[in-house]
Amino acid sequence: MTRRAVAPALCLATHRHDPERPRQAAPGLNLCPGCHVGLARHLADLPGLHDDVLDQLPANGTVAGPAVSGSPGQPLPYNPAAGDLLSQLRHDLTWLTRLVAEQRGLTTPPPRPPDQCAWLSRHTDWIAAHPDAGAIKGTLTELVGRAWAVIDPARRPLLIGPCLETIDDQPCDGTLRATVRRDGDPTPSEIYCDTCPLSLDTTQWHRFGKRYLAERARIAG
């Protein structure tokens, strides 16, 4: 008796680049390799983004950021966009930690975003195999995007374009960004992908830039 071949599982996440093209999920998971890496990266980035958004909460803003005014003469007591995002971030992380803890028979971490993200980072494989993996990845992606929209514009990464790397022979779905170090900023200058592990310091930028532009020109035909 001939066994019928089982079709490979497809990634359940929403993809920004070429969204109609199906991506094969990694073995045993419900996310493709790129989304699996992106899930881990979001959890690694969110604690720092949370702190940066928290800095935007007072009405007078940060040193480089503008105040948020309620009227010409009376500023609001806090930045509403920052406040709304902090509330949503804490709600979503609490929901996700409870989901993992209850279904795995574990104790939830302290209800602080850094602790929750560190704890969740140890369960990324399990999350990526969950039936709701696509929705969870989408939620974290949205939180990261909203965080960058709130943070002082002078500190936001520069958008370069779609990532052209491959992960397990599949095109990466990420976006390349660059952070440029400013005086007093401890963050080093870097070109990185928000999904795959690509990370380049300034000594690698020139050679990579030539290869990247040539590849984009080739794709454009």
**Residues 109-151 pLDDT 10s:** 999 999 999 999 999 999 999 999 999 999 999 999 889 888 8
Determine the pLDDT at residue 192.
86
Chain position carrying tokens 């369960």: 123
Angle at 41 between CA 37 and CA 43, to 5 degrees: 120
What CA–CA distance (Å, rounded) separates 60 from 69? 9
167 bridge partner residues: 170
Q: Quick check: is 5 in a domain?
A: no
Angle between helices 80-104 and 113-121 (to 10 degrees): 40
Determine the pLDDT at residue 1.
45
Q: Quick check: is 21 in a domain?
A: no
Determine the pLDDT at residue 135.
96
Average pLDDT over residues 97-107: 97
Q: Quick check: is 13 in a domain?
A: no
How many domains does the chain contain in total? 1
Average pLDDT over residues 2-16: 70
Per the structure, the complete domain to which residue 87 belongs is given by: 33-68+75-220
Q: Quick check: is 1 in a domain?
A: no
Q: Where are the alpha helices (DSSP H) in 151-201?
A: none
Does residue 212 surpass a pLDDT of 80?
yes
Does residue 5 surpass a pLDDT of 70?
no
Residues 6 or more apart whose CB falls under 8 angstroms from that of 193 comprise: 163, 165, 172, 174, 175, 176, 177, 199
